Amino acid sequence: MLNGAGIDRVYLACGPTDLRKSIDGLAVLVRERFQLDPFTTCLFVFCNRQCDKLKILQWEHNGFWLHYRRLEKGKFQWPAKNSSGVVAKISRRELRWLLDGLSLDQRQAHPKVTANIIL
């Protein structure tokens, strides 16, 4: 599993992506299609047409990580392209759901708990 420490945001490429692309090709997609900087502390997640393979592009310190996940059974619940665009911003919690094969829309999930510090 990915270490979530130091990750600011997670972006999904809605719809299918040609996963023959490697680091350079995916970084170009992030820059050109998403209008985002691939050299930030964000995760950029891509899925193939069959929704059984994922690639995650991550910049760390002075180089890229390319994470790959293939499901032997089942499919990822991947969002299709919609009117809101080709990229979706999700939380790290939603990414964990997605990697576990769950939908991003978890109606029965507990709300996120945040602590308020009172001084």
| Cα distance between residue 113 and residue 19, in whole Å | 36
**Average model confidence (pLDDT) for the chain?**
85
Looking at residue 49, what is its pLDDT? 93
Tokens for 26, please give them: 């995916």
pLDDT tens digits, 24-62:
999 999 999 999 999 999 999 999 999 999 999 999 989
CA distances (Å), 41 to each of 8, 11, 63, 86, 106, in order?
6, 11, 11, 20, 26
Looking at residue 98, what is its pLDDT? 87
| Cα distance between residue 78 and residue 46, in whole Å | 9
Q: Which of 29-33, 34-38, 81-85, 100-104 has the lowest mean pLDDT?
A: 81-85
Q: What are the backbone dihedrals phi and psi of residue 42, each rounded to the nearest 5 degrees, phi first?
A: -125, 160
Tokens for 52, please give them: 């059984």
| φ/ψ bin of 7: left (φ > 0), alpha (ψ from -120 to 50), beta (otherwise) | beta
| Cα distance between residue 38 and residue 44, in whole Å | 8
> Which pLDDT band, with edges at 50, 70 and 90, does 82 fall under?
low
Percent of the chain exceeding pLDDT 90 equals 47
Is the separation of the CB atoms in 92 and 5 below 8 Å? no
Stated pTM of the model: 0.81
